[in-house]
Chains A and B, each alone.
Chain A
Amino acid sequence: MFRLKNVTRRFGERVAVDNVTFDIPQGQMVGVIGRSGAGKSTMLRMINRLADPSEGTIHFNDIEVSSLRGSALRNWQRDCAMIFQQFNLVPRLDVLTNVMLGRLNHRSTVLSLLSIFSHEERIMAIAALERLGIEQTALQPAGTLSGGQQQRVAIARALMQNPKMLLADEPIASLDPLNAKIVMDALRDINEREGITVVTNLHTLDTARAYCERIIGMSGGRVVFDGPPRELNAEAVRSIYGTGSDGSEIDESVTSTAIRNPARQDNDHSTDKESASPTPLALAGL
């Protein structure tokens, strides 16, 4: 059980995340949606403790994540893997080394600094790459790979951490639709097979609907929607994204933020649907 309680983050005067409280049971796949600047990234970064909350507490089972220091903090970061919109790999190192860097917190610093990795770790890394279908790139510098391949390397690195939780900050925002689907499928596969909690920021509604069993909508740092995809109706979408200053609303044909008939949406994964071919319905027409 993972719990955020009254978590607030301020940058000077500005409140990025405002009094957020929610629970996530182990093994859930959660999508966080909202406009740019709604505090989605800041919230994820606080969960991994790349940023510190100004107020409130974050708990994972009995551990108070928000007060960890030193090696206890690094152990939490190992258990709570994170992938990023810009992948954040080391571009000049080869893919295999990048993946093995996910083991850093599991091993002796001296061996790590000397680049001494064991045979088992190499096997583990290759296996992770194979699972994501990019084992043939193992010896290339990570910087030479395409965006979709780099994001899968980042996921392989996250798997090497043996995480209990996986955070994804806009994982498909810089990818084309096919690569976006491959990456989202990989995240769902990890969620279902390993039972790892996945929390992902998304900025396309149709992706959130297709993959997540629970959607959290944020606006101005606050949680304004929390529920299954089928409850995400036009009213809820309007509360998350608001309307433009000239009264304009989201046009899915421009943003690809499709809004499908909520009644058909429950994501129990048994009636699997393709996210790439939704039957979009413009918000204005609902």
Chain B
Amino acid sequence: MASGTAENTMSGLGPSAAAVMRHYQQQLRTRRVYTAIAIIVFLVALWASLDFANSANSGKFFERLPYVFDFIRNFVPDSPMEIVRAMFDLPSPYADGSLRYDYTSERVYITDGFYIPHFIYQLIITVNIALIATIIGFVLAFLLCFFASTNLVGAGATRWVVRRIMEVMRAFPEIVVAGLLTAILSIGPIAAIVAITIHTIGALGKLFFEVVENVDMRPDEGLRATGASWVERVRYAIVPQVLPNFVSYTLLRAEINVRASTIIGAVGGGGIGEVFRLAIGRDHAAKTYAIVILLLVTIIAVDQFSSWLRRRLIGQQFLDTARGAV
């Protein structure tokens, strides 16, 4: 189909332009053939890997699929109000002395009349783990990143050592480090804090030094010409440029760390993850739903809060320039 119309559209062109046009159309045909081949290869690979995963599984995916709905059907609380009671540690009318309906015994009393519900207290523990880990991780990543930037320390030994340290720190998932540390530090939030902090340093450090390597070096040159020392140049020429990005990445990391500390709870890191694992393992539907709802609300709240904070700290001006740059 191409040749007939192509000759027609080329009638108005000069010989050199017509040659370019022919060349372009040839390239276009080649590109289409390659695209088609790529799509076919991708689909075959996708099908093969899904098939492999299915056969490696103990049960077949499509055969087991209906049981998902069975689980959801059987895993319902006695009444919707049970979820609220579980969430706020109110006594249950179904109470029979078993753990399933015992919501009240783990209240955390602040004064004689005022208590924090158990799950909310555990949630505070989880968020607290994430916050402490993010703050410590930010400080250490901030101090390290300048020593990993080629534009500030060159490509020598310092950069190599600092980058390898960061790589080791982020090589292991938090959950692996936490599992290891719970064996040493015993079960509890301290192991979780250390594990998340280590990973945060590695992950933020890498993001940070990449930001630093992209800065405009002219302010740095300006300060070098005034006789400023290396530390002073970093403080006044580099930090003002990178701080908005650092804040942005740190808030993103805070969101990730809340999720991470939840998961670590399930392997003995304390907090909401641990009570979630117990609730679902013991088949306590009302408690499980209460925790899921609390987690959802927390994650959404943390996301909203951090984007609000990011706007406040960095300012509209930065967002505008960032938008203009895209």
A74 in contact with B229 (CB, 8 Å): yes
How would residues 145 to 168 of chain A score, 1 for a CB under 8 Å from any chain B CB and 0 otherwise?
A: 000000000100110010000010
B218 in contact with A105 (CB, 8 Å): no
Interface of A is mostly: helix
Query: Interface residue tally of chain B, by bracket?
Result: 10 to 19
Contacts of A101 in B (CB 8 A): 223, 226, 228, 236
Smallest CB gap from A144: residue in B: B317
Interface of B is mostly: helix
Q: How far is the CA of A48 from the CA of B222 in the complex (A)?
A: 11
Known contacts A84-B221, A88-B221, A92-B241, A102 near B226 by CB under 8 Å: yes
Q: How far is the CA of A99 from the CA of B237 in the complex (A)?
A: 13
Contacts of A104 in B (CB 8 A): 223, 226-229, 232, 236
Chain B 217-265 residues near chain A, CB threshold 8 A: 218-219, 221-229, 231-232, 235-237, 240-241
Other A-B contacts than A75-B227, A84-B221, A101-B223, 9 sampled, CB-CB below 8 A, are A50-B225, A77-B227, A88-B219, A90-B222, A90-B236, A102-B226, A104-B228, A109-B232, A113-B235
Contacts of B235 in A (CB 8 A): 112-113
Contacts of A220 in B (CB 8 A): none
Q: How far is the CA of A266 from the CA of B226 in the complex (A)?
A: 33
Contacts of A78 in B (CB 8 A): 226-227
Chain A 74-102 residues near chain B, CB threshold 8 A: 74-79, 81-82, 84, 86-93, 97, 101-102
- 7 closest A-B pairs by CB: A88-B222, A78-B227, A105-B227, A77-B227, A82-B225, A74-B227, A104-B228
Chain A 119-172 residues near chain B, CB threshold 8 A: 154, 157-158, 161, 167
A112 in contact with B218 (CB, 8 Å): no
B229 in contact with A77 (CB, 8 Å): no
A86 in contact with B218 (CB, 8 Å): yes
Contacts of B228 in A (CB 8 A): 74, 101, 104-105
Report which of B222, B224, B229, B231 forms a contact with A89, defined as CB distance below 8 A.
B222
Chain A 40-79 residues near chain B, CB threshold 8 A: 48, 50, 71, 74-79
Contacts of B223 in A (CB 8 A): 90, 101, 104
B229 in contact with A81 (CB, 8 Å): no
Q: How far is the CA of A102 from the CA of B222 in the complex (A)?
A: 10
Known contacts A75-B227, A112-B232, A154 near B219 by CB under 8 Å: no
B241 in contact with A77 (CB, 8 Å): no
Q: How far is the CA of A84 from the CA of B229 in the complex (A)?
A: 19
B219 in contact with A90 (CB, 8 Å): yes
A113 in contact with B225 (CB, 8 Å): no
A113 in contact with B218 (CB, 8 Å): no
Contacts of B231 in A (CB 8 A): 109, 113
A77 in contact with B221 (CB, 8 Å): no
Q: How far is the CA of A104 from the CA of B235 in the complex (A)?
A: 11
Contacts of A154 in B (CB 8 A): 222
Contacts of B232 in A (CB 8 A): 104, 109, 112-113
A89 in contact with B219 (CB, 8 Å): yes
Smallest CB gap from A75: residue in B: B227
Contacts of A158 in B (CB 8 A): 226
Q: How far is the CA of A97 from the CA of B239 in the complex (A)?
A: 14
Report which of A81, A86, A93 forms a contact with B225, defined as CB distance below 8 A.
A81
Q: How far is the CA of A74 from the CA of B226 in the complex (A)?
A: 8
A93 in contact with B240 (CB, 8 Å): yes
A81 in contact with B218 (CB, 8 Å): no
Q: How far is the CA of A112 from the CA of B233 in the complex (A)?
A: 10
Smallest CB gap from B240: residue in A: A92
Q: How far is the CA of A78 from the CA of B232 in the complex (A)?
A: 14
Contacts of B225 in A (CB 8 A): 48, 50, 77, 81-82, 84, 88, 167
B309 to chain A, nearest CB (A): 19
Contacts of B222 in A (CB 8 A): 84, 87-90, 154, 157
A111 to chain B, nearest CB (A): 11
A93 in contact with B226 (CB, 8 Å): no
Q: How far is the CA of A50 from the CA of B240 in the complex (A)?
A: 22
Q: List 14 A-B contacts (CB under 8 A).
A: A50-B224, A74-B228, A78-B227, A81-B225, A84-B222, A84-B225, A87-B222, A88-B222, A88-B225, A90-B237, A102-B226, A104-B227, A113-B231, A113-B235
A161 in contact with B227 (CB, 8 Å): yes
Smallest CB gap from B218: residue in A: A88
B219 to chain A, nearest CB (A): 4
Smallest CB gap from B317: residue in A: A141
Chain A 230-271 residues near chain B, CB threshold 8 A: none
How would residues 142 to 169 of chain B score, 1 for a CB under 8 Å from any chain A CB and 0 otherwise?
A: 0000000000000000000000000000
